[in-house]
Every structure is written in C-alpha cells, then in structure tokens.
A and B are shown apart, each in its own frame.
Chain A
Amino acid sequence: MYSEKVMDHFNNPRNVGEIENPSGVGTVGNAKCGDIMRMYLDIDENGVIQEARFKTFGCGAAVATSSMATELVKGKTVQQALEVTNKAVMEALDGLPPVKVHCSLLAEEAIHAALWDYAEKNHITIDGLEKPVNDIEEKLEEEEY
C-alpha cells in the first residue's frame, strides 16, 4: 500500500530526535485521532534552517511524511520553507494512499507551527505564515459534514 520511498523513510527515518534550545518548535495533531507531530528547527541569524528534527506518534505515513518534511526544509530559508507544502512532501515520497493524505497536511502544519514559534520568539512576522491550526484532525472531521 505504501511506495518504496515511504517505506524507506519509515524504516530509516531521517532526523529523528530533539534539538536543545531550538529556534522554533511546534506540535500539531492530537492523540485522539492517532497522529501527533512535533518539529524542532534550528535557524541561523540569516534565517536559514540549519537543522530540523522531529518526533512523531502515528502510522507509517505519519512517520515518513515527518521525516521527508525535515529533509525538505533543511538548508532552506524561512521563506523557502513555507513553500514546502503537503503536496511537495507527498510528491517527494512518490505519493500516499488517499486515506493517508491527512498525514502530509500534518507535516506541512508541523513546519508552520515551528516557524510560528520562531517568529513569536524573535518578534518578527513571516510573510504568508498564518497561525497554524493546532488540531488538523478536527478540522478534517468538521469538513466531512
């Protein structure tokens, strides 16, 4: 059901772990629905993401999208990181089964949540960054009605 790339990122997740004193950290999802992602970013004085790490509670797709998201934002500027959308994460993983698309949304939200934290800590605004939805699963559930 999963692509080879998803399985590779699930089996050998890149950048698992924490960053001490991160420039930004964000947690999205909720345990009720079975997925939680936490992303840590280390951003230098030029606004370039030097390091990205994650911890995830969730299915194979949730782990793989977290892993891929950290890979995609590393070395990018804050502005470039905003372009790492759920679609970009999915494409980089050679696709996800339809029922797992929400995992890629969660990865995008995790990046945004970490960037939002960074912006707040540094009292800056990042163009195009909106306050992330904390609870993406609930948003999805509501959309079903």
Chain B
Amino acid sequence: MIYLDNAATTAVEEEVFAAMKPYFCEQYSNPSAIYSFAGKSMKAVDEAREKTARLIGAQPNEIYFTAGGSESDNWAIKAAAEAYKNKGKHIITSTIEHHAVLHTCQYLEKQGYEVTYVDVDENGVIKLDALEAAVRPDTILITVMAANNEIGTIQPLKEIGALARKNNILFHTDAVQAYGHIPLNVDELNIDMLSASGHKFHGPKGIGFLYIRKGVRIGSYIHGGAQERSRRAGTLNTPGIVGMGAAADLAAAKLAENMTKVSELRDYLIQRVLDEVPYSRLNGHPVKRLPGNANFCFRFIEGESLLILLDQQGICASSGSACTSGSLDPSHVLLAIGLPHEIAHGSLRLTLSETTTKEEIDFTVEELKKIVERLRSMSPLYEDFVKGGMNHVQ
C-alpha cells in the first residue's frame, strides 16, 4: 500500500505509541484525583502541555486540550461570538475554510451574527486588501486558516494578525494542517486563538487543543467539571494528551529537516505530473504551500473514478469531486480559486509524509498516467475535445 492521504490522517509514530501505552492499563488513574497514583498522570499531562505549547511559542497554561480540531474551531468561534456580542456581531473569515469553521459561521449567521467571507486569489491566498476593507467597528473576530487542507496554500498570518491587532479584533486560526508541519509562533503572528489536532502530525486521533492567549476572555464550550482550569470539562484523555505531546516534541525536533525533505519530494512529484500528464494543472500556491501537499486537476475525467482505480493499485488518495463530497457540487475550495465545475470535478489530492519514498512517488506517477489515459478514453468530454468540438469544454 502507498499512503498518500496524510492530510486526512497520519500514522501514529512508534515512539508516540510507546509513550502512550503506560496510560491505558497501568497508569490509568484520573489525573484530577488527589492520590499519588493520579499525580503521576497529571505530571505526564503537564509535560505534554509544555511540549504542545513550546512548538508555537505559547505558555503551557494557554493550551486547553479538546477532542480535536473541529471542537477547537467550534469553541473558539462560538465562544468568542458569545463573549464579544456587546461589542459587535460581525465576523470575518475566508471562502476556503474547513467546514468546521464555515459551518460554525453559518450557524452563527442564523443566530443573528453577520459574517463576511473574504475571497482568495487564484492560488488560494486570502486577498488582504479585501480583508482590510471588510473590517468594521463591530467586527469582533477574524478567523482564517493557517494552511488549506485541500490545496495546501499557506496564508499570510503575519499580515492578518497585524491587521487584527491594529483594529483590536480577536484573531483565530485553524492550524490543523499547519501545526507540526511549518513554524508557527503565536506572538510573532499576533494569534489570539489557534486550533490543532493530534492525528495530523503522527499523534493519536480524538485529541486536539485550543490555544487561548492569556487575557482573551471566552467562556466554556463543554460545561461540567473543573478540568482545564474550568474552561473545558471532561476527564482528561491522558493517553491522547501524552501522545500528542510526544508527537509535538518529535515534530519540533525535526521540523526544518522534515520540511526540506518532504517539500523536495513534493516538488519532484508535482514536476513529474505536470510534465508527463497532459492537460493537468497544479492547484494552490506553487511555493507557499504545505510541505506534503500536492493537488492537481486532470481535465476530462472525474475524481471518484480516479480514486477507485488508484485504490486498485494500492494507492490511497483523495479528491474534491462532487461524488466524494456527497453533494452535486465539487469542493468549495476549488471553486473559490476560480476553477469551473467541470475541471474541479477532476481533482486529486496527494499528501506526503516524512516516510514517503521516491520509489512510491515514481510508482504513483506511472499508475496515474495509465489511469488518466484510460478514463479519458471513455470520456465524452475528451472525445469532444479531440474532435475539436469544444461544446462542453472550457
């Protein structure tokens, strides 16, 4: 099997799993209890909190463990809206956010909030002038992702953070795809809240965190016990937290090395595909993109068919076609960067990890070439294109 869907989830590293193991059957105590058996678990949680914070230059007491990225996004946005509603009810975001942000914003619109969805350019970079123009006296929150999950484009967080700070607006970023993969510093970037998820960087699933800058007074989202300084109730997921901490530590140690290694292989993949597959294009920014992300469109074919045939060659990939989204529309991200529907349907996302090899990439490109050719041979769009009748083709 060749796994090229690391943006969906990653393998838990052996070292991470080893660090987690004692907290299932042996050191299983509830960390919040008073006896010394619990103290050992709390110590492990505290250490993990430090490691998690260090990677983004935060203080440990600014890290609040959650069940993952979606919870963190929901918490940050809904609680900020609630806490600052007396100042205003206007939120700014981008058109290419993850659904955890977009659907939360849409929910708030139903509750009487106003949301401005700022456009992106053809590379998927938010239009900063449009962002600045969207700021109003009643704007309470700007939420823009650090890097896009589909096309990998990295957003200009520094400029966005500076704009938010200048206008005294909270800045939240969904860094689920970026944390552990590219350098992020909450102070340099003026980030007030940041969401991340353990399983995207070789930690376990079901654990994430929300960074909340000291002084940002948002309320709880999950009410109950006094865990996480009374801001997020629920028994601490000790093995998950320990695992995420270990994964953060490993990511920090190898961040620069991995970035170079993975982006070199990614560029090799991109070059080969663009050179060897006719009528293909790269989606997302050519340079300012996540080290592991490659996203293509192949004209005249449809993404789901492509995924099934890749799967039959043992290659795991993903697509933004309508068929994979469960609706009739292709990915909102591909439409937002200006692709027509028929081209957006033929998208393929390949996301690499540190363990992806050149041999795997070579095999994938060879199979991809055959599959694209096969699907085109049965495509009426390609038939029209070859015959020169461009009625369905842009």
- Picked from A17, A34, A37, the residue with its CB within 8 Å of the CB of B322 is A34
Which residue from A16, A33, A137 sits with its C-beta under 8 Å from B378?
Answer: A16
Query: B9: CB under 8 A from chain A?
Result: no
B contact residues around A140 at 8 Å (CB): 328
Instruction: Report yes or no: A56 in contact with B379, Cβ–Cβ below 8 A.
Output: yes
Q: Cβ of B75 < 8 Å from any Cβ of A?
A: no
Which partner residue on chain B sits nearest A100 by CB separation? Answer: B323
Are B381 and A36 in touch, CB under 8 angstroms?
Answer: yes
A80 CB–B CB distance under 8 Å: no
| Contact A55 B305, beta carbon cutoff 8 Å | no
With a CB–CB cut-off of 8 A, which chain A residues contact B330? Answer: 34
Report the minimum CB–CB distance from B195 to chain A (whole Å). 30
Stretch from B25-33, B205-213, B271-279, B296-304 contacting the other chain: B296-304
Contact of B305 among A18, A27, A63, A100 (CB under 8 A): A63
Interface residues of A in 35-49 (CB under 8 A from B): 35-38
Do B342 and A18 have beta carbons less than 8 Å apart?
no
Q: Is the CB of B379 within 8 A of A16?
A: no
CA separation between A79 and B294, bound complex, in Å? 50
User: B187 near A: Cβ within 8 Å?
Assistant: no
**Does any Cβ of A come within 8 Å of B321's Cβ?**
yes
- The 0/1 profile, CB within 8 Å of A marked 1, for residues 356-380 of chain B is 0000000000000000000001111
- Measured between alpha carbons, how far is A55 from B329 in the docked complex, in Å? 22
| Further pairs besides A60-B305, A63-B305, A100-B323: 9, Cβ < 8 Å | A13-B378, A31-B393, A35-B302, A55-B378, A56-B379, A58-B323, A59-B323, A99-B323, A141-B328
10 pairs of A and B residues whose beta carbons are closest in the complex: A31-B342, A59-B323, A59-B304, A32-B341, A38-B380, A55-B380, A34-B345, A34-B322, A57-B379, A16-B378
